[in-house]
Each structure stands twice: as C-alpha cells, then as structure tokens.
Amino acid sequence: MKLRSHIGCDGILLKQMPAEFKDTSVEVVVVVQHLPSEEVKPKYNAWGKVTTKKSIQAAIARMLQLRQQIALAQSSIRSMIEEGRRF
C-alpha cells in the first residue's frame, strides 16, 4: 500500500487503515522522504490574465466604486416599480 500524507506541526502522522485490517496483526514498514514541492499553477480570469491577490483586490475596489456611481435612491426604485405596474 502506498500512501501520501502530511505530518502536522506537532510531528504526528495520522493514518486510518482500511476496514479489512480491523482486529488483525500486521507488519508496517514506514519510509519517510520529502516530496518535491508541487508547483502552484496560476489561475486565469475570464480575459486570460493571471489572477493574483492584487488583481482581485483591484476588481473588488472597482466594483464598489461602480456600485456608488450607479446606486439608485430608494425613492427612484419605488417610482420605477410604480411606473412598471402601469403597463
């Protein structure tokens, strides 16, 4: 059986075994070796640009700015609803 796992910051490796090994004597051989760090693949937005923390923060800031620019007053919304009911 070959498994990949993670040793926690407390130095403890936890492994749950399959049910077929319940109440059975087994011999366990443990080989510990570092795995090569997995490369983090970049994520891209809908326009093909790399998504970064900075680009996400900029997009959120722009959405908040647009929301303020196009926000409608509550009275405007009510009048639009009333106007729509006439038709």
Model confidence band, residue 86 (pLDDT cutoffs 50, 70, 90): confident
Condensed to tens digits (0 to 9), the pLDDT of residues 7-62 reads 888 999 888 888 888 898 989 888 888 887 766 778 888 888 888 889 889 989 99
Handedness of CA 23, 27, 32, 36 (dihedral sign): negative
State phi, psi for 44 to the nearest 5 degrees: -115, 145
First CA to last CA across the chain, in angstroms?
71
The single residue listed with the structure tokens 């970064």 is 52
Report the distance separating Cα 77 and Cα 81, nearest Å: 6
Inform me whether the pLDDT recorded for 78 exceeds 80: no
